Amino acid sequence: MSQQLNTEKNTSGGIRDLRRMFGGGRSSLRQFGILFSLIAIIVLFQYLTHGLTLSSGNLINLVSQYSYILILAIGMVMVIIAGHIDLSVGSVAAFAGIVVATSMQDWHFPWPVAIVFGLVVGALIGAWQGFWVAYIGVPAFIVTLAGMLIFRGGNQLIGNANTVPVPEGFTVIGAGYLPEVGPYTGYNNLTLLLGLIVVIAVVMSEWRSRKVQRIMGSSPAPLWVSAVKVVLLSSVVVYATVLFAGGRTGTSFPVSGIILGVLVLFYAFVTKNTIFGRHIYAVGGNKLAAELSGVKSRRVNFLVMMNMSILAALAGMIFVARSVASGPQDGLSWELDAIAAVFIGGAAVSGGIGTVTGSIVGGLVMAVLNNGLQLLGVGADRVQIIKGLVLLVAVGVDVLNKSQGRPSIIGLLTRNRKTNEFPPEPPLVVPGSGTPDTARPTATLSS
Partner 1 sequence: MSIERRAAREPVILEMRSITKEFPGVKALSDVSLTVTAGEIHAICGENGAGKSTLMKVLSGVYPYGTYSGDIVFQGKDVHFKDIRSSEAAGIAIIHQELALIPELSITENIFLGNEPTRWGAIDWIKAKKTALELLARVGLRDDPDTLIKNIGVGKQQLVEIAKALNKSVKVLILDEPTAALNEADSQHLLDLIRGLKGKGISSIMISHKLNEIEQVADSITIIRDGKTIETLDVVNDGVNEDRIIRGMVGRSLESRFPEHTPDIGEVFFEVRDWNVQHPQVPERMVVKNSSLNVRRGEIVGIAGLMGAGRTELAMSIFGRSYGNYLSGRLFKDGVEIELRSVSDAIDHGLAYVSEDRKALGLNLLDDVKRSIVSAKLSKISRGPVVNDEKEYAIAESFRTSLRIKTSSVDAGVNKLSGGNQQKVVLAKWMFTDPDLLILDEPTRGIDVGAKYEIYGIIQKLASQGKGVVLISSELPELLGLADRIYTVFEGAITNCILAAEADPETLMKSMTSARKKAYSK
Q: Please give the residue ranges that form the binding site for partner 1 (CB under 8 A).
A: 1, 4-5, 8, 25, 27, 212, 215-218, 273-276, 278, 281-282, 285-286, 288-294, 296, 352-353, 428, 430-437, 439-441, 444-446
**Smaller CB distance to partner 1: residue 82 or 369?**
82
CB 23 within 8 A of CB 225: no
**Smaller CB distance to partner 1: residue 136 or 430?**
430
Q: How many CB atoms lie within 10 A of CB 362?
A: 31
Q: How many CB atoms lie within 10 A of CB 205?
A: 12
Closest CA to 264 of 37, 72, 34, 99: 72
**Smaller CB distance to partner 1: residue 55 or 209?**
209
Dihedral of alpha carbons 212, 218, 222, 228, sign:
negative
Closest CA to 373 of 357, 352, 396, 389: 389
What length is written for the chain?
Answer: 447
- The DSSP call for residue 27 is G
Minimal distance in Å, beta carbon 201 to partner 1?
18
Minimal distance in Å, beta carbon 204 to partner 1?
17
**Smaller CB distance to partner 1: residue 389 or 445?**
445
Dihedral of alpha carbons 347, 210, 195, 112, sign:
positive
Closest CA to 131 of 148, 147, 117, 118: 147
**Smaller CB distance to partner 1: residue 212 or 380?**
212
**Smaller CB distance to partner 1: residue 113 or 349?**
349
**How many whole angstroms separate alpha carbon 363 and alpha carbon 402?**
22
Q: How many CB atoms lie within 10 A of CB 227?
A: 11
CB 287 within 8 A of CB 298: no
Tell me how far CA of residue 120 lies from CA of 100, 291, 327, in angstroms: 10, 30, 20
Minimal distance in Å, beta carbon 395 to partner 1?
17
**Smaller CB distance to partner 1: residue 136 or 215?**
215
Minimal distance in Å, beta carbon 442 to partner 1?
9
Question: Quick check: helix, strand or coil at residue 225?
Answer: helix
CB 323 within 8 A of CB 163: no
**Smaller CB distance to partner 1: residue 293 or 384?**
293
Minimal distance in Å, beta carbon 430 to partner 1?
5
Minimal distance in Å, beta carbon 309 to partner 1?
21
Q: How many CB atoms lie within 10 A of CB 425?
A: 17
Minimal distance in Å, beta carbon 397 to partner 1?
19
Minimal distance in Å, beta carbon 381 to partner 1?
39
Helices (H), 25-106: 29-48, 56-81, 89-105
**Smaller CB distance to partner 1: residue 210 or 374?**
210
Minimal distance in Å, beta carbon 435 to partner 1?
5
* CB hemisphere CA count around 407 (13 angstroms): 14
Which residues have CB under 8 Å from 111's CB, separation 6+? Answer: 104, 166, 167, 169, 170
Minimal distance in Å, beta carbon 135 to partner 1?
15
CB 225 within 8 A of CB 218: no
**Smaller CB distance to partner 1: residue 244 or 343?**
343
